Amino acid sequence: MGGGLDMASGDPMMRKLFGTDGIRGTANSEPMTPETALRVAMAVGECFRNGNHKHLVVIGKDTRLSGYMLEPALTAGFITMGMDVVLIGPLPTPAIAMLTRSLRADIGVMISASHNPFADNGIKLFGPDGYKLSDELEAQIERSLESGPRRRAAPNELGRAKRLEDAGGRYIEFVKQSFPKGLRLDGLRVVVDCAHGAAYKVAPTVFWELGAEVFSVGVSPDGLNINRECGALSPEQMRHEVLARRADIGIALDGDADRLIVADERGVLLDGDQLMGLIATSFARGGRLTGGALVATVMSNLGLERCLAAHGIGLHRAAVGDRYVVEKMRAHGCNLGGEQSGHIILSDYATTGDGLIAALQVLAAIVETGHQASEVCRIFEPVPQLLRNVRFGDGNPLGSLLVQRAIAEGEARLGDAGRLVIRNSGTEPVIRVMAQGEDEDLLASVVDDICEAILSADRGIEAIEAPITVVPVQAAE
């Protein structure tokens, strides 16, 4: 518990197109062009064609304007390979994972760049079991992309496409099934910020059907406003609405609704670590926590680890990325895992992070205790945390002896009372330097020294973000 260095990075030689969460980039620039989307669909069809049955693909999207460009390109690629396509339209990423399993499809596709601004888009892939693809499968798809399809469908074998009109209703019922039987949200005033994204219709409906008085924001998508000054990454609007409406709780989702941030009735924001800690202790009390542990990432706060230990609950740390969390959950038999950012996976119900299902578990804890969110949801005092992102040019500065020496010295200075995490971003040429510990001055010194070493090791790079200190948040006035 405590102490140590975590080095977390992917293998860039293994996969060139896929990052930590599918393929992502600026819309209408490579790789997010209709030409590449078409080729990706054909490569996926090549890899997932198995047997002589009529193969089926489920395709969903969020509310970005570029979804209208990528959806038909992907559809054409799968049809070319003889696969039928079911078009879902705007629904959360976890809904696509669920429908892939429910419809017994061979592959699920979500067109989304999650929390990124509207100009970006991405392609997330799910296997027939509803889980995101492994690194090995993604590498296989890339190889097929380079070589091209060995066989296209004959004219009489081409696939067909149709829309699933009741997809939203199916997902709403799926989400509600995760809420404990016999409980309702009657009397609760809930603010929900849908980030003008994929959950703009279904999220308010879920809470309303369970009895809450719902105040919705971020439910007017225009193709350009997804995640803009709203949602999980910009929760100030949600927080303001909680205070203005005198609501009991606020819930902010991101653009594809696979993560959430919560505000209590005082407007205090609660991140994924607090919410995972709440759900873990609640599950443990009810005998529902399997594996005796929570799976989090190397970025999760040391305070969470200490809190769980005090309750007799273990903590397994995974690399950043919810699919790596899921892999470790399955390896250790755990039914709860997630990330500080608000991705929370409850494998009793879903195969990937689901902001709505996680929100219902938080609300269940509030309803069961009869206490206010401020009394229930904040279960530990975060250890001060400092994060700095450094952009680099060609090469990998982490391999430099200068950088390695600075990291070793930083680890020694923090000792057992702190943690140091150095990792490459999976979506951009950025190295993330994060330190946790009780001495904030020491954290700043250690992080600055490592960042300076990275800058010195790679000429022409610059710091792109000022240090962000994560310290206990005070109640709003």
Catalytic residues: 114
3-state secondary structure of 153: coil
DSSP assignment of 30-76 equals TTSSHHHHHHHHHHHHHHH--SSS--EEEEEE-S-TTHHHHHHHHHH
Beta bridge pairs of residue 470: 385
DSSP type of residue 257: S
- Which candidate, 124, 105, 210, 214, places its Cα nearest to that of 162? 105
124 by DSSP, 3-state: which?
strand
Closest to 41 measured CA to CA, from 106, 95, 93: 106
Distance separating alpha carbons of residues 224 and 119, to the nearest angstrom: 8
Q: Which two tokens stand for residue 286?
A: 């009810």
Distances (CA, A) of 392 to 19, 321, 355: 17, 21, 33
Token pair, residue 405, equals: 């020496």
- Determine the distance from the C-alpha atom of residue 431 to the mean position of all C-alpha atoms in its chain, rounded to a whole number: 19
Q: Are 26 and 32 in contact (CB under 8 A)?
A: yes
Query: Taking Cα atoms as reference points, which of 441, 474, 442, 277 lies closest to residue 358?
Result: 277
Q: In terms of Cα–Cα distance, which of 206, 184, 189, 145 is closest to 355? A: 206
